[in-house]
Amino acid sequence: MLKQTEGSHAVAEAVALCRPEVICAYPISPQTHIVEGIGEMVKSGELKDCEFINVESEFAAMSVAIGASAGGARTYTATASQGLLFMVEAVYNASGLGLPIVMTVANRAIGAPINIWNDHSDSLSQRDCGWIQLFAETNQEALDLHIQAFKLAEELSMPVMVCMDGFILTHAYERVDIPTQAQVDGFLPPYEPRQVLDPAEPVSIGAMVGPEAFMEVRYLAHAKQMQALERIPQLAKEFEAGFGRDSGGLIRGYKTEDAETIVIAMGSVLGTIKDTVDAMREAEHGGHKVGVLGITSYRPFPLAAVATALKNCKRFVVLEKSLAVGIGGIVATDVRMAVTGMGLKGYTVIAGLGGRAITVKSLTTLFEKACREELDPVTFLDLDWKVVNKQLERERTTRRSGPAAESMLRDVGVIAARIG
């Protein structure tokens, strides 16, 4: 059924169609509308046989999810930004215990300074926590990935994080195709847990493991992620057969067949990049042979698929909405591992941090420089160097230079130079 709806509400409907049995809810922008939407369905009776639990914190949300999943319930939660950081201890426990929890991360910047807008800092900070991470480009894909995520999580008995750009997707209204309950039931079977706490058959889940077996247990999580590399594209094909849409998978190429320069990114920015590439390929704009590679599965990272997609190009640009302080790119590091020995020139572009707009104009200039191989190894798109250098000079010359963020806001004219 085609429906004009907010991205968060589309995800809420998708989760409800998966027949969850426990929802662990704690509000944080920009994911709050998701759990609110599910809560309304539970209250109205539209979503039956589901326990909606309001908890006191994000840490409690994941802790309750762990208990519910260990008890044999299909379990879901959602979070963002500082909320994800607050639940980190439990996030690692969920994956270490092999519990098939599905969680939406509405991607949002991490403070300080305080910022509620979108980038990928939150989920990428947890890239090594053992969760599968899937990134949605559109609200339709976000909806579809949640349905696939429950099946993937439960088949492999490991948790899945579905990442969608905060506000850009979560609060955007667009037309999506909401599947029927029969379609979802035909794709997603009833949950059959691999492990369950049952008084009739007592077991310990999460026992102490010493050096004699810890490495082997940890390797098991890695082995399951390698299994996911094979299963994710298979699930995408099964989904297409049942729902009539090509959605999900490991990667998604766009005009890469003849591309000399390929731009790699994740999430909603792929739409803007594709628009830029379309314009650059037109003869009046130079006929640049530029293509796009979208990464849907960030963890596990599809090394072989990325290498195959880049094998015929001359250079690549990784545009990422995150920053590894002290080195530069996060996604770029994984891409470089994929193309080891291929002799390609690679560039890292840090863009959109804290919700900074990524425009077609800026991308066009950036990609033209990449085609001429004039980019620096690490580029900060639209960074105001005047403001940065002024703050660095302030700190060099004045010991008590004051809070950096507030000083820089004054420099750009956002707040008054003086109070009172």
Please say if the pLDDT value at position 358 is more than 70. Answer: yes
Instruction: Read off the pLDDT band of 413 (50, 70, 90).
Output: confident
Q: Is the pLDDT of residue 255 over 60?
A: yes
Contact between 248 and 232 (Cβ < 8 Å): yes
Distances in Å between the alpha carbon of 252 and those of 28, 135, 136, 171, 204? 31, 11, 11, 24, 42
- CA–CA separation, 150 and 176 (whole Å): 20
When computed from its CA atoms, the radius of gyration of the chain, rounded to whole angstroms, is: 22
- Least confident stretch, 47-61, 73-87, 124-138, 279-293: 279-293
Q: With contact defined as beta carbons under 8 Å apart, do 351 and 265 qualify? A: no
Report how far apart the first and last C-alpha atoms of the chain are (Å, whole number).
57
Phi then psi for residue 261, to 5 deg, are -120, 125
Contact 296, 140 (CB under 8 A): no
All structural domains of the chain, each given as residue ranges with its CATH number in brackets, are: 2-243 (3.40.50.970), 251-380 (3.40.50.920), 386-420 (no CATH)
Is the pLDDT at 111 greater than 90? The verdict is yes
pLDDT digits (tens, 9 = 90+) for 22-80: 999 999 999 999 999 999 999 999 999 999 999 999 999 999 999 999 999 999 999 99
Q: Count the helix, strand and coil residues of the chain and give each as a percent rounded to the nearest 5.
A: 45, 20, 40
What's the chain's average pLDDT?
96
Residue range 202-209: mean pLDDT, rounded: 91
Residue whose entry in the numeric block shows the structure tokens 């979070």: 79
Q: Which residue has the tokens 């890695």?
A: 222
Contacts of 313 (CB under 8 A, 6+ apart): 256, 259, 260, 261, 262, 291, 344
**pLDDT at residue 207 in the model:** 87
Whether the CB-CB separation of 146 and 135 falls below 8 Å is answered with no
> Are 348 and 316 spatial neighbours (Cβ–Cβ below 8 Å)?
no
Per-residue pLDDT tens for 259-273?
999 999 999 999 999
Residue 419 has pLDDT above 50, yes or no: no
| pLDDT tens digits along 152-176 | 999 999 999 999 999 999 999 999 9
Q: How far apart are CA 390 and CA 385, in angstroms?
A: 8
Query: What are the residues facing 57 on neighbouring strands?
Result: none
CA separation for the pair 409, 300 (Å, rounded):
39
Query: Residue 236 corresponds to which tokens in the numbers above?
Result: 């995408």
Residue 362 or 207, more confident: 362
CA distance 269 to 361: 14
Instruction: Give alpha helix (H) positions in 282-403.
Output: 303-310, 331-338, 360-371, 385-397
Q: Which tokens is 54 given?
A: 């309001």
pLDDT at residue 335 tops 80: yes
The residue behind tokens 């409907």 is 13
Q: Which segments of 233-330 are extended strands (E)?
A: 251-254, 261-265, 290-295, 297-299, 315-320
The whole-number pLDDT of residue 338 equals 98
**DSSP bridge pairs for 161:** 103, 133
Is residue 130 a contact partner of residue 88, using CB atoms and an 8 Å limit?
Answer: no
Q: Which residue from 260, 317, 309 is spatially nearest to 286, judged by alpha carbons? A: 260
- Token pair recorded at residue 173: 């209204």
Stretch 401-413: mean pLDDT, rounded?
93
Please, are residues 172 and 7 in contact by the beta-carbon 8 Å criterion?
yes
CA distances (Å), origin 134, targets 88, 211, 295: 18, 32, 9
Give the model's pLDDT for residue 251. 98
* Strand boundaries in 10-101, DSSP class E: 22-25, 51-54, 75-79
